[in-house]
Amino acid sequence: MPKRVLIAYCIDVDACANWLNTKTGSHANASDVSRGVFGANVGTDRLLKFFDQQGIKATWFMPSHSILSFPTQMAKVRDAGHEIGLHGYTHEYVSHLTEAQERKVMAKSIEVYKEFTGKHPRGWAAPAWEVSPRSMSILEEFGLEYDHSMMHHDCQPYYVADMGDTVIHTDYSKDPDEWMVPMKEQVPTKIVELPASWFIDDWPPMQFSHRSPSSNGFVNPEDVERQWRDQFSFFYREYDTFIFPISGHPQVSGRSNVLLMQERFIEWLKTHEGVEFMTLEQICDEYKSGKIAGASVTAGV
Ligand SMILES: [Zn+2]
């Protein structure tokens, strides 16, 4: 069977939104916000040039805040023919929202998206990949087709279920008999999952923030490159077909040393037979039409 590898570049244009959303409601630091401005302007321009040189159409997940705050820059992305996906309004953490708030943000994001693109969105990536127990059903209800937030698999697409009430949370204040309960059956929605991975993402290793314990920022990009290569090499050895979504941010991947690393990485990927670069919506179409295999990832059956 000929090898078929679908690679997607996924760019989160968080810009200022993720700095403004401090989770606690505290005020953002102006220096942090300036990093977002760098991403929307300098980083976006560099990545657009990079993708143009590489002949790659990427999927850019844009918070509404980025579309409305940097309309000229985001229009460059749109007009270059890249796919645009939803990424919240101000990078709010969906798992912290009430159901009513989650629906309101989704409705507003779609309104801004349609005004900007003239189309209905097909895909969503949860800000910080944090979803609520009902997010997949809400995507379905709002007419979306794919999600790029979940991690049931690391290289295969699948139809994704909501966590909903399939789990009982471990609550030490209660008698163990109340929470010593296995997972219930997960019922897949019509939403295609094109899974995310923190391990093929530029932010955790290469973005410094003293406000976020999970950030680093001083990892040698060559070490990250080696980790990305090893993951790809394993999938390439083990699977006839697989998908390989790479996650980047203009304020990280737009920096000189990180961009040089990705130039080397892409050239290396292109030496492999069967490699194709696609947007996530194209991969979604391939999966839905049965042109590429996927996985079954249900629990409780
Ligand atoms: Zn983001």
Q: Find the radius of gyration of the CA atoms of the chain.
A: 19
Dist. CA 253 → ligand 1 center (Å): 13
The 10s digit of each residue's pLDDT in 81-94 is 999 999 999 999 99
How far is the centre of ligand 1, averaged over its atoms, from the C-alpha of 245 (Å)? Answer: 15
- Can you say whether residue 82 is alpha, beta or left, with left for phi > 0 and alpha for psi between -120 and 50 degrees? beta
Contacts of 201 (CB under 8 A, 6+ apart): 247, 248
Identify which of 20, 11, 124, 7 has the alpha carbon closest to the alpha carbon of residue 65: 20
Instruction: State both tokens at 297.
Output: 């990832």
What is the whole-number distance in angstroms between the Cα of residue 18 and the centre of ligand 1? 7
pLDDT tens, 180-231? 999 998 889 999 999 999 999 999 999 988 887 777 888 999 999 999 999 9
Note the pLDDT of residue 301: 56
Spatial distance between the Cα atoms of 37 and 47, rounded to a whole number of angstroms: 15
CA 93 to centroid of ligand 1, rounded, Å: 10
Report the pLDDT value the prediction gives residue 173, as an integer from 0 to 100: 97
Q: Dihedral through CA 235, CA 239, CA 243, CA 248, nearest 10?
A: 0
List of the chain residues with pLDDT < 70: 299-301
The reported pLDDT for the residue numbered 186 is: 86
CA dist 104 and 108 (Å) reads 6
Residue 139 Cα to ligand 1 middle (Å): 17
Q: What is the pLDDT of residue 300?
A: 60
Give the model's pLDDT for residue 297.
80
Near ion ligand 1, which residues have CB within 5 Å?
A: 12, 14
Q: How far is the CA of 3 from the centre of ligand 1 (A)?
A: 31
Q: How high is the pLDDT of residue 280?
A: 98
CA distance 280 to 243: 10
| Surface-to-core class of residue 139, CB atoms within 10 Å of its CB (0-12 exposed, 13-18 middle, 19+ buried) | buried
> Which structure tokens are listed for 206?
């290469």
Kindly report the backbone phi and psi dihedral angles of residue 229, in degrees, each rounded to the nearest multiple of 5, phi listed first: -60, -45
The pLDDT of residue 68: 98
pLDDT at 62: 98
Query: So what's the pLDDT on residue 299?
Result: 66
Quote the ligand 1 centre to 158 CA distance (angstroms).
22
Element (H, E) at 77: helix 71-79
